[in-house]
Every structure is written in structure tokens, then in C-alpha cells.
Amino acid sequence: MNLHDQLLEKFAAQYGGAPDVIAYAPGRIEVLGNHTDYNEGFVLSAAIQHGTFFAIRKSAGDMCRVTAGDLMKEDVFAPANPGRTAVNTWANYVRGVLHGINGAAGPAPSCFDALFLGDIPLGSGLSSSAALEMSAGLAIARLFGHVFQPVELAKIGQAAEHHFAGCKCGLLDQLSSLHGRAGHLLKTDFRTLEVDNTVKVGDACFLMCDTHAKHALVDGEYNRRRQACEDAAAYFAGALPHPVTALRDVGVAEFDARKAGLDPVTAKRASHPVNENARVLEAADALARGDLATLGRLMFLSHESSRADFENSCPELDAVVDAAKNIPGVLGARLSGGGFGGSAVVLTKPENAGAASAALASKYAETFGKPCEIRAIRPSDGARVCHDAR
């Protein structure tokens, strides 16, 4: 039974009958552009073929009910003031989205019953949280007759992360989920929030290697990295002769010439997004020429920067990337997402994907005594309302 049919079956079992609206939103891979989004830089990403369905219908009750379909656990809250919960923490993403929609369009005019179900492994670095936020946002908005532009909905999801889940993320995950296009990468400018989904991926295959090393970005490490970037931008605003509002405004040569004015840890942290931004622009130019080898080389450089400067890697991710360097047919590899665990993305070609996957899995098991899960990822279409029975 496919995921959509499982959703309908679980909804009927939990609430009786069928939903009014079903929305779907995919997860994403970050191909290049690690921690450049909140530094107002560029990112290459893609929506993927794994995602989350969110089914919803209006109810006559006085409370909203949302069920996590994998756990079959229900969370209950008031529609006008959903608030945070310390019990069913997964529900904070939905509560936060409803809070944002209420703020943008007025309090929900009625209650609802909802259930969501996805196939994105939690903690794998494929952004299951954004998929939940965007599917919930699309479904709730359609149910109550609201229309939001993609950037507006992305910001509602981001605010849910910030204020309800406790992670000060950028907009990469939400925009990637909304703007995905099959067979293409997304080049997003996080200053203007313009998304170019015309970057053809060419003859490439992406392998996502889930290390099962659990990351928890809300533990403060992500937020500390972001604060270091903001501190560095403030320093360069006073040290350079041109305006600097974010690290996107600092060129590599400028950074190298003035970084001695920063404390050593802040300098290391800031080095990563400054150089990463330059790598994204170089990679986009290379892909326009069909040059996958250059993309791969830049991916390896990106991971080394994550490991040495930003220090958001981990032994499991390093092992995948180090193994990838010695496997024939692999062009590049790096961690994907916030880091500190989760998945690595490996670039190869379709004809080499099977052998590369087997070699990576074998090497990982040899090192850690357990396998990593490897799946081929296809750049796929973005979020959408896929059913409206009203």
C-alpha cells in the first residue's frame, strides 16, 4: 500500500470518514551551500521524492486534533491560541504553522481534525520538519480559504521552527520543499529569496547516506554557529569600506585579509559560509556547462570546510566522505543539512550508483560495525495540494 493510501486508511480509523483536503510536501537535499542561507548567500538544493502527506477536515468540536500517523498519537489544542507543548513535541511544528497562519490571516474560523504521514527518516538531514510544516501550511490554508505566496508560507514555517521548535533555522528547507522541480536543482538567493529552478542536474545521481547518527539542532550547537556568523558580519561591517549586512557581503580575499581581527573560533566559523558561498556560485556556472566533475570537487571542499572550520560534522559523516574519495565513479561527497549527524550526499552517475552504494555501505559497516542506509535521490517536484473534496 502506498503512502497516500495508508494516510487515508489511518485517517478513517482515527476520525471516521475522509479528509476534506490533502497536501503533500517533499523533503530536500542540500547539494552545496551549507549554512549560507541565514548569511544571505546562495544555496544549491533539490526537493526529493520522499515527503509528508497532511490530511485535514473541519470539525464541529471546540479543539483541534492532530495525529502523527506513524505513532498514531494525537495532540489537542485550541485553534485560536495553539501554544507550544512539551509533551508531543512533534506537534509544535503544526501548532507553530497554525499560529503563523492565524497571525497572517486571522484566527482559524473553526476547528479541524488532521493526520499526517511521511516517509522521510527522522533525523536524517532530509528536512522532515519542513515537509511537515509546508504540507500542514498548504492544507490548513486551503481548508480555510487562505492564499499565501511561497515566500510567505516559507516564513510561516521558519517562524514555527524558531518560536515553537526552538531551532533558529534559515529558509532553505521550506523554499526547497515549495519550489522543487523534477530533474533540476534550485539555486536560491537568500538575500532576495529568489529561486531559480532551471539548473539542470544533467547525468547525475545523488546518493543519500543516512548514518543514523542522531542530530539534534535544538541542542544549541546550530544556534551558536549562527551567532558566530552574525558576530563576524558585525566586525566586517566596521572593517571594510563597503556596506556589510551579512557574510554574503564579504569576499574570500577580503575575509583572508581581515580575519586576524576576529577571535580564532569566530574566524574559523565565519570562514565556512564565506568560502561556501563562492563555491555555490562556481558550481552553478559549472553545471551550466554540464561540468559535474567541478561540482564534485567543490562538494569535497565543502565537507572539509565543515569538518575543520565550522565543526558541524561528526565521525560517521567523515567516514562516508573519506570512503567516497576512494571509490571509482564517485565525483564528490559532503554532509547535507545542518550537520552534527544525519546524512551525507554523494555525487555519482547512474551507471556507477549501485557499485558506489555497495562500497560505501561495506566500508561504513567495517568502520562502525553497523550499516548506513543508502538511497538514490531524484530531484523532484515541490509541495502541492493534491486533493480538495469540498
Q: Give the burial class of 19: count Cβ atoms within 10 A of its Cβ; 0-12 exposed, 13-18 middle, 19 or more buried.
A: buried
Same domain, 172 and 209: no
In a domain, 199, yes or no: no
Nearest to 141 by CA among 91, 101, 96: 101
In a domain, 39, yes or no: no
* Alpha-carbon span 270 to 272, nearest angstrom: 5
User: Domain boundary at 169, 191, 213, which?
Assistant: 191
pLDDT of 89 higher than 70: yes
* pLDDT value of position 169: 78
CB distance 29 to 21 below 8 Å: no
CB distance 192 to 43 below 8 Å: no
Is 231 among the residues known to form the active site?
no
Same domain, 187 and 58: yes
Same domain, 182 and 224: no
pLDDT of 252 higher than 90: yes
Instruction: Give the burial string for 102-122 (b: 16+ CB within 10 Å, else e).
Output: beebeebeebbbbbbbbbbbe
Helix (H, G, I), strand (E, B) or coil at 220: coil
Length of the chain: 390
In a domain, 40, yes or no: no
* pLDDT value of position 216: 55
* pLDDT value of position 11: 98
Same domain, 227 and 323: yes
Same domain, 59 and 122: yes
Backbone angles phi, psi at 110, to 5 degrees: -155, 175
pLDDT tens track for 307-360: 999 999 999 999 999 999 999 999 999 998 888 888 899 999 999 999 999 999
pLDDT of 390 higher than 80: no
Is the alpha carbon torsion for 374, 379, 380, 381 positive or negative?
positive
Q: What average pLDDT does this structure show over 248-260?
A: 98
**Which of 173, 210, 309, 318 is an active site residue?**
173
User: SS3 sequence, 174-185?
Assistant: HHHHHHCCCCEE
Same domain, 176 and 209: no
Residue reference for cell 494525537: 74
For residue 124, what pLDDT band results from cuts at 50, 70 and 90?
Answer: low
- Full residue range of the structural domain in which residue 273 is found: 205-377
Task: Please count the structural domains in the chain.
Answer: 2
* Alpha-carbon span 11 to 155, nearest angstrom: 28
* pLDDT value of position 218: 45
* pLDDT value of position 341: 84
pLDDT of 389 higher than 90: no
Helix (H, G, I), strand (E, B) or coil at 289: coil
pLDDT of 70 higher than 90: yes
Same domain, 226 and 355: yes
Of 238 and 202, the one with more pLDDT? 238
Mean pLDDT (the chain, rounded): 94
What percent of the chain lies above the pLDDT cut of 90?
86
For residue 177, what pLDDT band results from cuts at 50, 70 and 90?
Answer: very high
Query: Which CATH number fits the domain that encloses residue 93?
Result: 3.30.230.10
The CA-atom distances, in angstroms, between 140 and each of 176, 181, 248 are 20, 23, 35
Report pTM.
Answer: 0.88
Same domain, 60 and 173: yes
